[in-house]
A and B are shown apart, each in its own frame.
Chain A
């Protein structure tokens, strides 16, 4: 029987529900990649992280409760993996000043980040806690409750992190005086600013979420 190019190999389900689980994993890969990109800020690291998440999720599939939110469950695994990978990296690789100085112009990531949209760059300036809360609620479409579950904190904490993140982003993008300055942009200016941002976003060099495009 001919197999369509993009279906999952599904012939070895030990349990009948394994096949369904795998199909659902496949469907959620794009969102895992997007969330991972927002955490790591670069494409390669993000895709490694998303793949580690898939493996972990598959190994732990027996602990997933059917009927609960699989996306939130996967995002929780991904987030845990991100922080534990980073802790390990810190332990294993002390900062090498000499190596850093040998990299011309501060390295590839910095070169690419010069081409990012202001918002993508401003996002990198937020604390991890604020950034992840903002992305989950503001971009990922999670409820405050689900975001709280993923970040292992109280709902009120997520709400205040999102609010602070929004405020901080605006201050970074528009200058520190934005919220206190009555003479700040009127509607017309805001609309022009939006249009100019959209123009920049649609330019080919834009790399989403702080990532860089890998040449195909």
Chain B
């Protein structure tokens, strides 16, 4: 994943001065994208989600009508 990104960035340009600067910039942008994504993924799961899963469970229960808790 990370490697795929870095490799595709690395293979794109010939190793000139300009290309190196562009690659460095692309890697920085790539890191920032991952960081933004990971920031959200690392947030605690809001309670709404747990409530929802509980509701799904209760719906299943009443539909089945035969469950013991």
Contact = CB atoms under 8 A, between A and B. Distances in A.
A70 interface: no
Interface size on B, as a range, is 35 or more
Contacts of A162: 8
Contacts of B2: 141
Nearest to B5: A138
Interface residues of A, number: 64
A119 B1 CA distance: 20
A210 B21 CA distance: 27
A12 B22 contact: no
B37 to A, nearest CB: 4
Contacts of B46: 47
For the complex, would chain A's binding face be called helix, strand, loop or mixed by DSSP majority?
Answer: helix
B36 A190 contact: no
In the A-B complex, the 6 residue pairs with the smallest Cβ-Cβ separation, listed nearest first, are A141-B1, A139-B37, A208-B39, A34-B40, A190-B24, A30-B41
Interface of B: 1-2, 4-5, 8-9, 12, 17-18, 20-22, 24-26, 28-43, 45-46, 48-50, 52-54, 56-57, 60-61, 64, 67-69
Interface of A: 6, 8-12, 14, 18, 22, 25-26, 29-31, 33-35, 37-38, 47, 50-51, 54-55, 58, 117, 119-120, 123, 134-135, 137-144, 162-163, 166, 169-170, 173-174, 178-179, 181-182, 184-187, 189-191, 193-194, 197, 201, 208-209, 211
